[in-house]
Amino acid sequence: MDSVNDKTKSSKINEFYNYIQKMQSSNVSNQICGIIHIIGHFSRIHDPELDHVFVKNFPQPLLAQFNMLNDDQMKANYDENLVGHLFSVFTFIYRNHNLVNDSTARSFLIIFLKCIKNKERTLTFDIAKLIDSIMICLNIEEHKVYDLNASHVNRLCYAKIKENFNQIW
């Protein structure tokens, strides 16, 4: 049985590294596709090594796009899908405690915090996963210095409840 599990794990690791290679494309759309595949296929796998490889190999052009979401000139013309991808990456990175002390992962936390402060945004996301990830972040004393206050989290919850309410009616 162990050889089957080892073979399965080896196959998953190879698949993971193949996606990492695809993320290194110069095309941001291809990078996003690679990220989506990794998140979709590996969100239930809690392997610290793979998590570190993910953040260390995160495509810099896509990270720059995430950073521009908070640029005052870009706020009016933001891409809602890009915001959704940022939230997916944030929840993937902080789905467990593997990266809570990682300085590269912390950059995603900072971008995320800046992003949720923008009150004009319409946000689409899985609120339960997002709250779980926020709670994991808050378990680290060092992260408590960031301006993650209740009003921002409440705004996220309110936006999601309002969106769901509007869909019902």
65-74: per-residue pLDDT in tens?
999 887 765 6
3-state secondary structure of 45: coil
128-151: per-residue pLDDT in tens?
888 788 888 777 666 554 555 544
In contact, 137 and 109? CB cutoff 8 Å: yes
Contacts of 17 (CB under 8 A, 6+ apart): 53
Query: Alpha-carbon distance 12 to 79, whole Å?
Result: 32
Q: What are phi and psi of 163, to 5 degrees?
A: -60, -45
1-12: per-residue pLDDT in tens?
445 566 677 787
Average of per-residue pLDDT across 103-116: 88
In contact, 94 and 133? CB cutoff 8 Å: yes
Q: How confident is the model at residue 78 (pLDDT cuts 50, 70, 90)?
A: low
Structural domain spans, the chain:
2-166
